[in-house]
Amino acid sequence: MIVLVTGARSGFGLLIAVAAARAGHRVYAGLRDLETRGELEAAAAGLPVTPIQLDVVDPDQRRAAIDRIIAEEGRIDALVNNAGIAIAGFLEELSSEELRRMMEVNLFAAWELTRLCLPHLRRQRSGAIVNVSSMAGRSALPGLGGYAATKWALEGMSEALRHEMRPFGVRVAVVEPGPYATDIFGRNRQTAGASGDQASPYAAMAAKVEAVFSGTKFGDPQEVAELVVRLLDEPKPGLRYPLGPNVRARTWMRRILPFRVEERVVKKIVGF
Ligand SMILES: NC(=O)c1ccc[n+]([C@@H]2O[C@H](COP(=O)([O-])OP(=O)(O)OC[C@H]3O[C@@H](n4cnc5c(N)ncnc54)[C@H](OP(=O)(O)O)[C@@H]3O)[C@@H](O)[C@H]2O)c1
């Protein structure tokens, strides 16, 4: 298969690109800045992985990436919308620019890239769209409301797209990782500009959330990559694939329990 993976500089994207190539696919690995391809190239040495310039929020780069793949391969079989950012902050303190930036990367860019791929996938009457959502696309925790909003939106879009694509034989699936050790918690960690002010009415709550977060158990991101690669070939995938630490408890809580019970659990964990 010819596969495009976005956000392949680090984390899941890099691992998905490498694992997909190892599984026999020909991979185009999108990078926001091609100059940062060193780690990807080292990990993908000898494998059919082509790093390409693709800042997903840039319309010209989106079109150029798809045009190039079609020119070189004559087709595209799968798109993995993985590029994403998270800006932590309580909703009142998140600026509209910060929320919009997250929406641009996590939602609009995925939609625009999907739209560029669909004519090819429909014509071929086969293919896969795999969207990397999050556990936050299913349950929203304090301090991550903006990020959760982008992933809930991505999930809604994916669900509708799945219905729309069924007649064309194009498969749509959503991966919902819990916490995994990637650069999103390191080099790419971002908080709202207004956070961190000790005079903020949220300062004490933010400190409690931070304390819970610092005790987080992280999963091995390779398992997310392997799931995504499995979904590329899966003839009849499900829609949502939650995975990661505590995933069973969290999905079970969301499916079975009334929200009031979940609310009490969250209150107990975060302490407010
Ligand atoms: N790690 C987790 O616990 C977790 C859990 C649930 C969901 N996710 C989701 O998983 C996806 C991958 O994140 P990650 O955890 O692997 O973190 P990561 O290591 O920070 O990777 C994110 C990637 O997205 C790229 N990116 C950001 N903005 C971009 C843009 N405008 N154009 C193209 N690429 C862009 C980054 O490139 P640069 O570094 O060059 O900006 C980076 O390569 C995201 O959608 C994230 O929301 C992560």
Q: What is the pLDDT of residue 250?
A: 84
- Name the nearest CA neighbour of 217 among 181, 177, 184: 181
Q: What is the pLDDT of residue 252?
A: 87
Most ligand 1 atoms within 8 A of CB, residue of 31, 56, 182 to mutate: 182
Cβ pair 83, 56 in contact under 8 A: yes
Domains defined along the chain, listed by start? 2-270 (3.40.50.720)
Decide: 242 in ligand 1 pocket, CB within 6 A: no
Q: What is the pLDDT of residue 254?
A: 87
Strand (E) positions, the chain? 2-5, 26-31, 49-53, 78-81, 87-88, 128-132, 171-177, 190-191, 240-243
pLDDT in tens, 72-127: 999 999 999 999 999 999 999 999 999 999 999 999 999 999 999 999 999 999 99
Q: What is the pLDDT of residue 249?
A: 86
> Which of 37-46, 47-56, 193-202 is predicted with the least confidence, judged by mean pLDDT?
193-202
Decide: 183 in ligand 1 pocket, CB within 6 A: yes
| Structure tokens, 61 | 């780069």
196: confidence class by pLDDT, cuts 50, 70, 90: confident
Q: Please report how the helices 109-124 and 59-73 are oriented relative to each other, as an axis angle in degrees rounded to 10.
A: 20
Angle at 59 between CA 183 and CA 51, to 5 degrees: 50
Cβ pair 205, 33 in contact under 8 A: no
